[in-house]
Structure 1
Amino acid sequence: MILKILILDDNKEESEKTKCLCEKILITCNIKYQIYLANSGNVYQHSLKNIDLMIMETKFDAIDGFELAKALRRRFPEIQLCFMTNDKDRTDQGYSVHALHYLYKSSQNDYLVSNLRTILYENYFIYSGFKDKRVSIYPIHYYEIYYVEYIDRHSRLHMRGRRDQNTTYSLHYWIKKLESTWFVQTYRSYIVNLLWVKQYDRKEKMITMSNGDKIPVSLMYRNHFESSYYKLKEMFAKKQGNYENTCYSFLSCCKHYFPLALDESITLAQKHNCPN
């Protein structure tokens, strides 16, 4: 999965600064990305239908930034939009075009990095997934999968908000495909998404998923599952205060999943001479 970002700003120096901030955050949390720079004169020359996130200024020399945003929104409604500007007088107009956020360039660096990091995380998780016509004609996002079950020589993806998907792939295939995500194997025929684990009963060796399904935990996989599960709970405890009330609220989880401290982002940006 590659997160594709377009930075739209007529000021080249400001564009490079925003690009630098994004790159350091993305590199630190190991997110693959492509960043493109554009200005109000050449924005339509880019393949905008492939852009996941647009970070744009509101002030341009030849056009009103909000009018440009409305035009872009009409043609490409699927693009996530974030304003990054020093124009503090028109915040309401930003949200009128359904912008994710309205960031001020003049903000303190730690505040700016923190909010930008959250936006990048959310967009990465929203679009992170895969396309495979042997599974579904539609893209599948990792966060949509509750768990994978192997039964009768077929694997079944139990899905959130959509029909379960039956596939001819082996469980080993899914183990390899999902090993770099937040899925762990709990039994010889199950892989679960830790973000959707609602409760774990160690005595009964049973997991309750947020959709109510019960998944067994075998002795062979228990240590690895518990290590991953409690590590994630610890992250939530530090960031959110209550794992059970937030772990299966997707957008709440994705902001806090990575164990990346804010000062690490700032230190890394400084180390790589990110413009102040």
Structure 2
Amino acid sequence: MNNPEEKKYIQATKSEDSSTRIEALYTLNELEYSEIAPLLLHLLSTDPDKDVRAEAAFLLRSLGHQSSLLPTVGPPLLAALTDGDEKVRNNAAETLGFLQYEVATGPLQNLLKADPFWFVRSSAAEALGRLGDPGSIPALLHASSDSELEVQRSAIQALGQFLHDPKIAPFVTSALLDEKKDPLIKAELSSLSYRLGHQSHLYALLALLSETNDYEFMSNVLMILSDLVEKSSLFDLTTDQEGIHSTLQDILHKEPSLHSDIERITQMLPSYFDIS
């Protein structure tokens, strides 16, 4: 039986005001309302307001620990990939990836190829990486040349889930030789190449950091380096950590405001370096 507080917010999901409906959904989710899944699915499928549908698609990812709900939750989310609103499609794509709904692989590939909004294509690429189906590799390779930089990044990051596939190493080698590639894409590719065993490409990544004074670029490349170091259990960073540390010290002198990002990376290195 619903408690009085739950009843209040269940009723609020029927309000004529869309913002009230959204607020009620978030509150019921925080209250761990036992019937939140059917309510979210109902609003995702029927609510006339695009923002309500989008938030319903977003909140469904909180059910990720309840794998038994996937057969019920998955199909409406798949249907939402064709919603007329781009934010609904985006959130549905992200949630399908979080929920590991393997049936979504084909529809997400189609979304990656054809959606007119770059952020939807980017989310589709990320979701395909999470799903980990090697059948997505051709679509991700194609997306690595997308007209939008962020879609390229998402596709290349997703390809990092398939390093053992024979198509990946030749792609990375060829792409790194492309002089037209954006430096940030070069950084992503250098990270993949290092994980593939090409030692020198770590230093190409570090050189990109050393040669720039652009704050946003440094911040983005530090995120790539952080992801690389975080995955270092898959390979040996021991012989390269001095070079990483030296570069991080240089960046710290150039841009002290990046201290917390740099410290997080150094703390993950096999031998901790104190940068304080």
TM-score, scaled to structure 1? 0.28
TM-score, scaled to structure 2? 0.28
Structure with higher RCO (Cα < 8 A, 6+ apart): 1
- Name whichever structure is richer in strand by fraction: 1
- Name whichever structure is richer in helix by fraction: 2
